[in-house]
Chain A
């Protein structure tokens, strides 16, 4: 087992020491330990494309959450204090890179009236749209967990948030200081669903002298006004999105051939907007960002803008049942076009979300992302259902159609897959 995350472990140590030393759990007003453990297998009907890739995959994960709450702590100016620790561990039977540990959350939240202060590792979600969240820049992607980028690594931070009420606008203004940078995780040689060239995530290069200790800053105002939910933000610091350069080279017949890549992290500045208009059963959503100094796929610094806009309309009680069907249409645009680091550069995403509203919370989401230029298509079906009181079954199917030679999706053309996860909760 490789425990690569030294700061996370230090935070864990700091967090857990008093918890164990304190006897009656430090006189907390509320204490809870809950968690989730899961077994996951990914099945691939097609043979691997690249040397070293294993056929199927089997892994185990555990994610306990411990919470302690103290109300009105005198020594902290009467603040309500919550300490949260949520470590995460995955053990993969094939890929050593997938076997990893992270402190998703290891933080103390202090609440003074309308002001909240968070110190420690946390996950912060920003955004409104479904396919991708352009504005969600705080946390690094846990790249070995899923291909949709929704799994994030804990980000060490000091955050101050304050409720803002101006007229009919109600929301929260936040300021963030990120002292430490989290590197993205990349799948190893054995894994499917990776590009042809393995990325040496541990061998990252920084375009900033302080490397991972380069501080980043962000500010955000988010809230709602009537039927409008809006957020704006600004970010300055190391980009969570790396560019790539050749790392390993082999000589085949005297010609240098790249064998591996490494991520390069540079400073960027970004502003962005996200909004949603709730009109009855229809939700209109949009996100937009402008970012400066981001290196693109061609390893050039390029200022760019990106937009995702779309809607979600829900049909309630379809076919005389209690089930709801949500129809999703979103369009994603990136001014860099083919030089973008994201697959969503000029794509139309259509989807349907089915919720049975039964006692088992059965739901499914189907999406088709189609590149409007190359017709590259990614189909995705997610489904989940609770089994009994404390188990859950989740399946994710993916297929890559019409892949284009010049696109990195081409490397995944044979990685159609079915991921099956069984989780237990306590």
Chain B
């Protein structure tokens, strides 16, 4: 049925090929029009969703104090140190020029540092170097001494040796056009720096700071787009060309992947969301995924072209045989990417949506536009199978022959690798997102190595009331905290207002060094600060240190070269210290670093739900496609195992991973499922055609092995190229994805077939058993403990094996017609007869279908023409059954839930007459003995216990001969456990050299003395009956 619709679709597409070319191009143009609306948002904060609690805290903090968009100019004056007159002059000059940068709010340099001192009773506030252009060596030396004594400057603006210094330029970004503001500042700053270096060759000058971070997000995003795209294109084209040796194939591939990328990206443009450093990868990911779909079509074409020169036939066959799988693969991929919407980081949500749109676009194009192209564009025909196709056969043999060692080995490998997962540590340092190929990273490392740290934990210390910051007790706590923090090894600099207040106290006491301490009462502190602020230079106020109503004070803790773990650990220590020493002050850390510190933890948790939902949705889809619970459950293994292995490998080899890891499972799930879908669908088709598991595996390898190999190769190469991105989030994501996908192919080629053969050979396995086995395999043991059939069989296993053998011997009969007659005798010996014609049609029991049959009665004459159609189901499902009443010409669906009722007063119940499937009972072998009705033969005696509680029997004891596995006798025990009926089968005849049928069945009711004889004769096999002969609507036609 499904096949028929697909054939229709394939033929339709090929027939209307020009329409699809036009439609595909029109769609691309329409979506592509959105490209013009795309902007780029370089802000590092795009990673923070508006609802991210850390971001909310940061926003609140910045509203209270200030948003630190800063630029740090790092200077190094080699030998003599910075405090030489000419160098101070240069710094002074640079300070003045820095004020001219766009959006400048404040410039802090060594020269304009607000130095306070006392002249008598008077407190003086002035620049450290009031006139940098005219500095005497004495003034310079004095300034050096002052600078090195000030803790707020040390390890931030000056190193202890006085050789490295920095200038901090603060900006107030309007945020109206983020795509322009930051790059503009950076461009002007770099021009300024270049001019400075030219003028002062002796001074090394480097740029870092958060503005540079933001700029780097933009730069590396654009660089990734620029450098990776051609690389990606080249690699894809090379792969496609090498695999198919066809320029036309390459051309088609290019069209489809480029159009898919345009569709995805265009959708982003239409949605009005700007690109960012993660979503720039979207077109590359879309292209990589689109290649996978295209390759499946081309691989099929490559196989078909060997058989026929008709290009349209190539397109039709490709769509016919792979269309559904490609569609499913694309849909699962899209689901996986859509699951990224659960991420707390908007760039990943956007990436997920863009790629999902692109992949669906790719699906549409692959199923319409591409076959249309194939039918139109001439492609060079090859006469021999591709070499990769020839590799597949030996591979299949290897897997089949070595399946047990493979199963054991792969399971051990999976467990071994997965054990590395606990070694993963989440590491999100927005500075180290960029590797040292970038000048920014090198400059930042330079800054952190020699001066201070860019990673800053911000604490807003609440004083509890307005003007509370002047409270001596509060100030004492802050001072103690500040000193404690300065003693911590990872801390480079702590900025705290207590330093200023202490110094002011000293100044107000005529620079008495003994008064370098906090004032004793809050009036004094308030007055000092007031005086100080009055005297501060332009832009140097304290609003970024104290909030408006002076109820909170800020402490900034800078750290250099620290990991996320170390930062979180420091904060934990801070919390401990506060709890012990200042329990009244509640502190929570914030700042960009802190938001990034937590983002991965939050995202891993958020994505867990998304990943589970994606897994459920994808598995449900898989079940729908495969229509086989067992295969569906087995498919979980090759779907999940690769990610576990990849994570484990990462844990052992690298350890630190960025927030990208949170989204990788969901992303790769959708991709690796593709291979599984293609593999299992073909395997199932093989099984449906009656192949053994081994043959089905061979068939699968020959049909899709090459395509899977090439697509995986293309995907891995694609993601490997992406993994060269200097932006760690993208790089990690791509590396993990590439690893996961390649391991998925390993799992699909080596583990899955071994698993399928092993499980399918134990045909007995019901779905729950398969589930158990699959889960056992997941945790790495269990499956390979399966006993070999010969060894130590239990009575249950032997019973089942015998029934299965009987079933197996009766498989493949296809269809037959026969004549039936039932003779009912009551205990008085009176006879009545019923005569009918029967037609039967075999269905695949393993696909959960029972056989179909039609019975048309001819006697007694008043019911002549009455017909029943039964489409049997495996217990406990009711069969589908229809009854045709010729008198009113009515077809009625009737209930078939009656198992125990007797058929027209005979001794046969509906259950006895219904189609019996192996799965309906559990079995136990009792003994072997001479057959009761044919003493020359030996019979197995087996007990069967119905699984369906609605059965009329507690058990059936059956005698089956060990030669041909023919039924000779059955004893039926009722629900109470008493023997109720005995059935004997005689007159066995073999038809078409294979199938045995008893001519006569006698059912004797031992409780009532009534008996019924059932005669079935005139068998005719292979009469060419089809599904159409068993259509309920056609019953009137069958009746006569």
Residues of B within 8 A of A283 (CB): 893-895
Residue of B nearest to A384 (CB): B862
In the complex, the answer to whether B898 meets A316 with C-beta atoms within 8 Å is yes
Question: Which listed residue, B824, B860, B891, B895, touches A278 by the CB 8 Å rule?
Answer: B895
Question: Which listed residue, A314, A357, A423, touches B862 by the CB 8 Å rule?
Answer: A423
In the complex, the answer to whether A32 meets B898 with C-beta atoms within 8 Å is no
Binary CB contact string for chain B from 1015 to 1040 against chain A (1 if under 8 A, 0 otherwise): 00000000000011001111001001
In the complex, the answer to whether B895 meets A392 with C-beta atoms within 8 Å is no
In the complex, the answer to whether A223 meets B889 with C-beta atoms within 8 Å is no
Binary CB contact string for chain A from 59 to 82 against chain B (1 if under 8 A, 0 otherwise): 000000001010000000000001
Given contacts A113-B1028, A166-B5, A170-B1031, contact A317 B889 (CB under 8 A): no
Q: How far is the CB of A308 from chain B (nearest CB, A)?
A: 15
Expressed in whole angstroms, the Cα–Cα distance for A392 and B862 within the complex equals 8
In the complex, the answer to whether B1037 meets A317 with C-beta atoms within 8 Å is no
In the complex, the answer to whether B1037 meets A109 with C-beta atoms within 8 Å is yes
Binary CB contact string for chain A from 383 to 400 against chain B (1 if under 8 A, 0 otherwise): 000100110100000000
Expressed in whole angstroms, the Cα–Cα distance for A34 and B863 within the complex equals 12
Binary CB contact string for chain B from 883 to 919 against chain A (1 if under 8 A, 0 otherwise): 0000011111111011011111110000000000000
Interface centre among B901, B903, B1027 (most CB of A within 10 A): B901
Interface size on A, residues (CB 8 A): 57
Check if A111 is an interface residue, CB within 8 A of chain B: yes
Q: How far is the CB of B114 from chain A (nearest CB, A)?
A: 80
Check if A165 is an interface residue, CB within 8 A of chain B: yes
In the complex, the answer to whether B895 meets A163 with C-beta atoms within 8 Å is no
In the complex, the answer to whether A124 meets B889 with C-beta atoms within 8 Å is yes
Q: How far is the CB of B958 from chain A (nearest CB, A)?
A: 25
Residues of B within 8 A of A34 (CB): 861, 864
Binary CB contact string for chain A from 218 to 230 against chain B (1 if under 8 A, 0 otherwise): 0000111001010
In the complex, the answer to whether A116 meets B1034 with C-beta atoms within 8 Å is yes
> Would you list 6 pairs from A and B whose C-beta atoms are within 8 A, ordered by A residue?
A166-B5, A167-B1, A357-B905, A359-B824, A390-B861, A390-B862
Question: Which listed residue, B833, B860, B863, B900, touches A317 by the CB 8 Å rule?
Answer: B900
Check if B488 is an interface residue, CB within 8 A of chain A: no
In the complex, the answer to whether A114 meets B895 with C-beta atoms within 8 Å is no
Residues of B within 8 A of A209 (CB): none
In the complex, the answer to whether A281 meets B905 with C-beta atoms within 8 Å is no
Residue of A nearest to B877 (CB): A227
Given contacts A172-B1031, A224-B880, contact A425 B5 (CB under 8 A): no
Residues 27 to 69 of chain A near chain B (Cβ within 8 Å):
30, 32, 34, 36, 67, 69
In the complex, the answer to whether B862 meets A163 with C-beta atoms within 8 Å is no
Residues of B within 8 A of A426 (CB): 861
Question: Which listed residue, A36, A167, A324, touches B2 by the CB 8 Å rule?
Answer: A167
Residues of A within 8 A of B1034 (CB): 116, 163, 172
Check if A213 is an interface residue, CB within 8 A of chain B: no
Residue of B nearest to A86 (CB): B886
Q: With A67-B1040, A171-B1031 given, can you name 5 additional A-B contacts, CB distance below 8 Å?
A: A116-B1034, A172-B1031, A322-B902, A358-B904, A361-B904
Check if A191 is an interface residue, CB within 8 A of chain B: no
Residue of A nearest to B833 (CB): A389
Check if B878 is an interface residue, CB within 8 A of chain A: yes
In the complex, the answer to whether B898 meets A324 with C-beta atoms within 8 Å is yes
Residues of A within 8 A of B905 (CB): 322, 356-360
Residues of A within 8 A of B832 (CB): 359-360, 389
Q: How far is the CB of B597 from chain A (nearest CB, A)?
A: 52
In the complex, the answer to whether B1033 meets A30 with C-beta atoms within 8 Å is no
Residues of B within 8 A of A390 (CB): 860-862
Question: Which listed residue, B2, B5, B888, B1027, touches A125 by the CB 8 Å rule?
Answer: B888
Check if A282 is an interface residue, CB within 8 A of chain B: yes
In the complex, the answer to whether B893 meets A229 with C-beta atoms within 8 Å is yes
Check if A276 is an interface residue, CB within 8 A of chain B: yes
Expressed in whole angstroms, the Cα–Cα distance for A423 and B863 within the complex equals 12
Expressed in whole angstroms, the Cα–Cα distance for A170 and B826 within the complex equals 42
Check if B4 is an interface residue, CB within 8 A of chain A: yes
In the complex, the answer to whether B900 meets A163 with C-beta atoms within 8 Å is no
B residues adjacent to A (C-beta < 8 A): 1-2, 4-5, 824, 826, 832-833, 859-864, 878, 880, 888-895, 897-898, 900-906, 1027-1028, 1031-1034, 1037, 1040
Residue of B nearest to A387 (CB): B862
Residues of A within 8 A of B1032 (CB): 170-171, 223-224, 229
Q: How far is the CB of B896 from chain A (nearest CB, A)?
A: 8
Residue of B nearest to A278 (CB): B893
In the complex, the answer to whether B902 meets A357 with C-beta atoms within 8 Å is yes
Residues of A within 8 A of B891 (CB): 125
In the complex, the answer to whether B1028 meets A163 with C-beta atoms within 8 Å is yes
Expressed in whole angstroms, the Cα–Cα distance for A166 and B3 within the complex equals 10
Q: How far is the CB of B1012 from chain A (nearest CB, A)?
A: 10
Residues 85 to 143 of chain A near chain B (Cβ within 8 Å):
109, 111, 113-114, 116, 123-125, 127-128
Residue of B nearest to A171 (CB): B1033
Residues of A within 8 A of B893 (CB): 224, 229, 276, 278, 283
Expressed in whole angstroms, the Cα–Cα distance for A386 and B905 within the complex equals 13
Interface of A is mostly: strand
In the complex, the answer to whether B862 meets A386 with C-beta atoms within 8 Å is yes
Q: How far is the CB of A388 from chain B (nearest CB, A)?
A: 9
Residues of A within 8 A of B864 (CB): 34, 425
Q: How far is the CB of B140 from chain A (nearest CB, A)?
A: 88
Q: How far is the CB of B5 from chain A (nearest CB, A)?
A: 7
Expressed in whole angstroms, the Cα–Cα distance for A67 and B1037 within the complex equals 12
Check if A291 is an interface residue, CB within 8 A of chain B: no
Expressed in whole angstroms, the Cα–Cα distance for A361 and B863 within the complex equals 10
Expressed in whole angstroms, the Cα–Cα distance for A283 and B883 within the complex equals 14
In the complex, the answer to whether B1033 meets A172 with C-beta atoms within 8 Å is yes
Check if A150 is an interface residue, CB within 8 A of chain B: yes
In the complex, the answer to whether B898 meets A163 with C-beta atoms within 8 Å is no
In the complex, the answer to whether B860 meets A314 with C-beta atoms within 8 Å is no
Residues of B within 8 A of A339 (CB): none
Question: Which listed residue, A357, A392, A423, touches B904 by the CB 8 Å rule?
Answer: A357
Expressed in whole angstroms, the Cα–Cα distance for A125 and B885 within the complex equals 10
Expressed in whole angstroms, the Cα–Cα distance for A296 and B878 within the complex equals 44
Question: Which listed residue, B2, B833, B892, B1037, touches A116 by the CB 8 Å rule?
Answer: B1037
In the complex, the answer to whether A82 meets B860 with C-beta atoms within 8 Å is no
Residues of B within 8 A of A223 (CB): 1031-1033
Q: How far is the CB of B496 from chain A (nearest CB, A)?
A: 72
Binary CB contact string for chain A from 296 to 331 against chain B (1 if under 8 A, 0 otherwise): 000000000000000000101100001010000000
Given contacts A166-B5, A224-B893, A282-B895, contact A161 B1028 (CB under 8 A): no
Expressed in whole angstroms, the Cα–Cα distance for A138 and B162 within the complex equals 107
Expressed in whole angstroms, the Cα–Cα distance for A125 and B1036 within the complex equals 10
Binary CB contact string for chain A from 361 to 378 against chain B (1 if under 8 A, 0 otherwise): 100000000000000000
Check if A280 is an interface residue, CB within 8 A of chain B: yes
Q: How far is the CB of B948 from chain A (nearest CB, A)?
A: 13
Expressed in whole angstroms, the Cα–Cα distance for A389 and B906 within the complex equals 16
Expressed in whole angstroms, the Cα–Cα distance for A322 and B1008 within the complex equals 13
Question: Which listed residue, B860, B1028, B1031, touches A386 by the CB 8 Å rule?
Answer: B860
In the complex, the answer to whether B1 meets A165 with C-beta atoms within 8 Å is yes
Minimum-distance CB pairs A-B, first 4: A172-B1033, A425-B861, A359-B905, A358-B905
Residues of B within 8 A of A316 (CB): 897-898, 900-901
Residue of B nearest to A276 (CB): B893
Expressed in whole angstroms, the Cα–Cα distance for A118 and B1037 within the complex equals 10
In the complex, the answer to whether A314 meets B898 with C-beta atoms within 8 Å is yes
Residues of B within 8 A of A168 (CB): 1
In the complex, the answer to whether A359 meets B904 with C-beta atoms within 8 Å is yes
Q: How far is the CB of A44 from chain B (nearest CB, A)?
A: 26
Expressed in whole angstroms, the Cα–Cα distance for A82 and B860 within the complex equals 23
Expressed in whole angstroms, the Cα–Cα distance for A117 and B891 within the complex equals 19
Interface centre among B901, B905, B1031, B1033 (most CB of A within 10 A): B1033
Q: How far is the CB of A75 from chain B (nearest CB, A)?
A: 21
Residue of B nearest to A130 (CB): B892
Residue of A nearest to B830 (CB): A359
Residue of B nearest to A314 (CB): B895
In the complex, the answer to whether A30 meets B1040 with C-beta atoms within 8 Å is yes
In the complex, the answer to whether B898 meets A281 with C-beta atoms within 8 Å is yes
